[in-house]
Chain A
Amino acid sequence: MKKKKLLSLLLTTCLATTTLVACSDKTSKEPEKTEDGRVVLTGLITKHPLTKDVNKMEWLEEAEKRAGVDIKWEEVSADWDQKKGAMLAGGDIPDIIVGPNAITDADFSKFKGLFEDLTPLIEEHAPNVQKMFDEKSELKVISTQLNGEIYGLPKYQRYWPNTGTRQFINQQWLDNLGLKQPTNWDELYEVLKAFKEEDANGNGDPNDEIPMDFAPVGTGGFGFFQPTVLLGSTGMTIVGGGGQGYFAEDGEVKNFFVDDRYKQVVTFLNKLYKEKLISAEAFTQDYTKYQSVARGEGETATVGYTYGWELTDRFGNELAPQYASIAPLKVDASSTVQPSWTYDYNVLNYGVNMVQMSSKTKNKDAAMKFINELYDPKVSMQVLFGSLGTNIKDNGDDTYTVLPPEDEKMDPGTWKWTSTWADNGPLYISDSLKLTLGTDMQSVGKQTEALQSALDAVDTENDVLPDTFLKYTEEDNNAMSLVNTELMNLAMANFSKWVTKGGIDKEWDAYVEKMNQIGLPGNLEITQKYYDDYKSKME
């Protein structure tokens, strides 16, 4: 009896161990093939949550066929940062990874040997990539690491405007109240006050108007659609909506978090917040809520002044006509400073590390052929806007037109993101392509007009920090990111506090000193070094 028990126990233990062992044994030497002889690869794409199943994208299926591969896609649309860490540390990655900076330069240097150096493969199998590098040499510069190797390939999408953020004001409310579009902070204050106190939307309730709203401010830095654009009023040109505060001025790298002009903006925002002119939930709502509040109810708008990418995207098709895009504001009527704005041309049109290959890929030639397909002029266009036929019309004379959404209720932006990889894909739109854009892109262009003179006045060489293009050594990168984590912790918490509760005047000096103690000067020095380096390379 006892023996029997012991035996069964032993058996169970054995069984458990064998299953554990069995899991880890699945390596085979030969690359897998499909029945029709195509090479089977694994791929991972970080995509927008709206984007449909990539296996249903016709252009992708065709591109795979032409390259002679069949890719099993894994699709990630949330929490990539968390998943990535674990995946890379485990060393088990798919053959191809696609996504905007999904794998960063820091990852390449941290996880040495995990990614394939594409330089020789490009020469051999990727004429499209080669052509792209020849036509736009900066693309080669931004994809080449400090040691001369290329792990990730870039994108260039040409049509995007100089900025990602536009400011919108409800023209109908202005008309209802007999007001003019504000041109400086003082006028903006008066307008917002009127929005607050009167029944601007005319629905009988004077208290349901939110005079001003902006996108949720995170704890790690600023982004698009945030009030940092007001820094432009002081003549400062920020990049990508603010980020971690680094910007360039007359060729010198600075950080606005310790700049007196930033203090000025925060003081102004605090004045607005104190008078309840900024949404009470501006700091706690999430992006979805931010978006849905502005879309209002039926024809009743709820938000007066806010930021966004494009009118229909921000307010929905029904409310969009009520709003107007306005020019950058001056600080006050007497100000002689040339207003600037967040300059995002590089961020929007260029992307680094859009696609990379695992060094363990069994059939690297096939994988490279597929990557090359993505940079084919026709394919790139479809990566960005969707399949020929359904999303793009071929006019037959080498010109193309982006079609309106099949579903009339949908705005063109949403349709694009639904049907293809869009801005998240690796692609190269050559400057010679003749493509008529969709209504959303055309209106983005139109809505940028108000900002155009300010953006044209920007000295792109000396006043725009080419943040996305800079390559750091691993050591510098680690040092900087540690310092930045601590800096943002202090800076973002203080930003929110000063806007909502005030007190910036009293605490400013101690705050600046603390920022310097944490290591801001060191980071500025490092960035300056790389910025100068980059400039000398581009000449």
Chain B
Amino acid sequence: MPFINSQTNKADNIPIIPLQKKKTIFNTFKRDYQLWLLILPAIVCVIIFNYIPMYGIQLAFREYDFTAGLTGGEWVGLKYFEQFINSHMFIDLLKNTVVLSLTTILIGFPAPIILALLINQIRWKRGKKILQTTVYLPHFISIVVLVGLLNVLLSPNTGILGLLVNKLGFEDLNLLASTKSFVPVYVLSDVWQHVGWNSIIYLAALSSVDPQLYDAAKIDGANRWQIIRNVEIPAIIPTIIILLILNMGHIISTGFEKIFLMQNSLNLPVSEVIETYVYKIGIISNQFSYAAAIGLFNTLINFTLLLLMNYIAKRTSKISLW
């Protein structure tokens, strides 16, 4: 009867050390095999689609030769990496990619948190639901359509937003064609599209806050702002940190499609990022090995950042992926 035991032990202040086998992967298989079975299809999928194709990485170190297949070309070592780093595009590409993705995270990451906190403040249930649905609908617009929308809305001659901007005194500002406006347009439209959807997870975290905490805070005389600061934000901090770490994992993998669609010769100096360049080199000019090397380079940076972020989070707040 462990129940009674623990009670008596508490009273006597004698700690009982439960007999536990040392945790190894092997005995978790035995103990939790149902859970492992449950996750098996997912593991198989990941192996088939994410790990097996990784043998293609060697293409980055080989001269691609069609007749010999992916794995048959001659070894060239780091030739393609050197070629990329010595390329005249390298600094610009890296800069553009980092600027674009950092801004996306800096603006795009806090936005859903703020939105979730705000939505959570709404007392009128129906209104809350309507608002929530409205803000997450844009998430389902395909990127092609979204960029089409941007083109129509921001056109300086016929677009409603474009006209508005020009009427406000920014004369002849073509938001689609300026190196200055590319990043803001990209990031803000991205926030607009995904803020509602991304806030769902925080709302879920908020809904699990113990009502007693709210009551206690109110009795202590806390106002709304204090409740948000001292009750709600601490409740969602673990979620925030985990999501931030995960986001770090693809910090310099900007979305290819949207950038590519928004690209034109005027915003090219800021809109050419690693992924669009890989497309131009790899697919358009058939340089598979070179493109593979650039892609791998990109992934390695992402991976390093993920590790770094995880480490920092672990050290500072004890919350981490592993």
Contacts and interface: CB of A to CB of B under 8 A. Distances in A.
* A, B in one complex: yes
Given A113-B66, A281-B155, A281-B156, A85 B265 contact: no
Contact of B66 (A13, A110, A493, A517): A110
Interface residues of A, number: 43
A9 interface: yes
A81 B176 CA distance: 25
A18 to B, nearest CB: 14
B226 to A, nearest CB: 49
A497 B280 CA distance: 21
Nearest to B262: A284
A142 interface: no
Interface in A1-29: 5, 9, 13
B87 A486 contact: yes
A105 to B, nearest CB: 11
A518 B92 CA distance: 14
Give the interface SS of chain B, mostly helix, strand, loop or mixed.
Answer: loop
A114 B67 CA distance: 8
Contacts of B268: 219, 489, 492-493, 496
A34 interface: no
B37 interface: yes
B266 A496 contact: yes
A111 interface: yes
Contact of A217 (B44, B265, B280, B286): B265
Interface in B145-201: 151, 155-157, 172, 174, 176-177, 179
B77 interface: no
Contact of A106 (B179, B282, B286): B286
B283 interface: yes
Nearest to A218: B265
A284 B281 contact: no
A428 interface: no
B283 A495 contact: no
B285 A481 contact: yes
Interface of chain A: mostly helix, strand, loop or mixed: helix
Given A114-B66, A280-B157, A495-B265, A82 B283 contact: yes
Interface residues of B, number: 34
Given A284-B151, A485-B280, A489-B272, A219 B288 contact: no
Interface string A128-172: 000000000000000000000000000000000000000000000
B264 interface: yes
A280 B285 CA distance: 32
Given A219-B264, A478-B287, A485-B280, A112 B66 contact: yes
Interface in A249-295: 276, 280-281, 283-284, 286
Contact of A493 (B67, B155, B266): B266
B172 to A, nearest CB: 6
A514 B266 CA distance: 19
B88 interface: yes
B72 interface: no
B94 to A, nearest CB: 14
Given A110-B66, A111-B66, A9 B156 contact: no
Given A9-B37, A113-B67, A486-B87, A283 B286 contact: no
B89 interface: yes
A107 interface: yes
A50 interface: no
Interface in A74-104: 81-82, 85, 88-89, 91
Contacts of A286: 151
B298 interface: no
B283 A81 contact: yes
A514 B88 contact: yes
Contact of A486 (B66, B88, B155, B266): B88
B266 A81 contact: no
Contacts of A346: none
A342 interface: no
B202 interface: no
Contacts of B151: 284, 286
B81 interface: no
A228 to B, nearest CB: 13
A283 B266 contact: yes
Interface in B90-148: none
A276 B280 CA distance: 33
B33 to A, nearest CB: 9
B89 A489 contact: yes
Contacts of B157: 280-281
Interface string B56-78: 00000000001100000000000
B255 interface: no
Interface string B245-274: 000000000000000000111101100100
A112 B272 contact: no
A284 B266 contact: yes
A433 interface: no
A382 interface: no
B74 to A, nearest CB: 14
B155 A481 contact: no
A356 interface: no
Contacts of B88: 486, 490, 514, 517-518
Interface string A175-207: 000000000000000000000000000000000
B176 A284 contact: yes
Nearest to B48: A20
A482 B66 contact: no
A500 interface: yes
**Residue in B89, B176, B264 with the greatest tally of chain A CB atoms within 10 Å:** B264
A341 to B, nearest CB: 23
Nearest to B156: A280
B265 A219 contact: yes
Contacts of A284: 151, 155, 174, 176-177, 264, 266
A514 B89 CA distance: 11
Interface string A198-230: 000000000000000000111110000000000
B284 interface: yes
B176 A493 contact: no
B281 A482 contact: yes
Given A485-B280, A493-B266, A496-B177, 10 more contacts: A85-B283, A111-B66, A220-B280, A280-B157, A283-B264, A284-B151, A478-B287, A482-B287, A495-B265, A497-B179
28 contacts: A85-B286, A89-B66, A107-B286, A113-B66, A216-B264, A219-B263, A220-B284, A280-B156, A281-B155, A281-B157, A281-B174, A283-B174, A283-B177, A283-B266, A284-B174, A284-B176, A284-B264, A286-B151, A486-B89, A489-B89, A489-B272, A493-B265, A496-B264, A496-B268, A497-B179, A514-B88, A517-B88, A518-B88
Interface of A: 5, 9, 13, 81-82, 85, 88-89, 91, 106-107, 110-114, 216-220, 276, 280-281, 283-284, 286, 478, 481-482, 485-486, 489-490, 492-493, 495-497, 500, 514, 517-518
